Amino acid sequence: MPHFTVKISPQGPLVDAAVMVGDARQQALQAAAQNVPAPQMIRALIDTGASISGVDPAALKALGLSQTGEAEIHTPSTKGVAVTTPTYDVKIAILAGRPGDLHFISDTIQVTATELTPQGFQVLIGRDILKSCILHYNGADEYFTVSY
């Protein structure tokens, strides 16, 4: 199984990643003679406490995305009441290991827009992506490995 291993940072299991428009949207943009926005290079936190992945609105805006769905979400900030959030279709690639190495690329997935930049990263990689991976978190030796 392909895999990558990364040192755990003080903020947790962080990886370099890219958020990009999905293949179908890319083809629609090209058919309309519009530019395809460049992938957004960001930092992502692997978060097993998230059942859906989230992307900072600034990265989604830079991709020129339109809402294609909605989801009900509970977070500590919603104080026990689910809130309805717009969702967007994107692909997420994890760029971990040696510089230039490309690892995991997700299918086109549904993500929420979530203010994350103040926390030091722009994407939460949730269990919707991790469901096709094996995550080995070695806190004692301060590294984690993702096999996919």
> By the criterion CB under 8 A, which residues form the site for another protein?
22-25, 27-29, 31-32, 34, 47, 49-52, 54, 57, 60-61, 65-78, 82-86, 88-89, 107-110, 112-116, 119, 124, 126
CB 87 within 8 A of CB 111: yes
144 DSSP β-pair partners: 6, 137
Is 1 or 32 the residue whose CB approaches another protein more closely?
A: 32
Output 91 or 103, the one with its CB closest to another protein. 91
Both tokens of 14, joined, read 């962080």
CB 123 within 8 A of CB 43: yes
In the complex, the smallest distance separating the C-beta of residue 10 from another protein, rounded to whole angstroms, is: 16
CB 97 → another protein: shortest distance, Å? Answer: 25
Residue among 71 and 135 whose Cβ is closer to another protein: 71
Task: Tell me the closest approach of the beta carbon of residue 127 to another protein, in angstroms.
Answer: 9
CA of residue 17 relative to chain centroid, distance: 7
Using DSSP's 3-state secondary structure scheme, residue 38 falls into: coil
Q: Report d(CA 100, CA 145) in Å as an integer.
A: 18
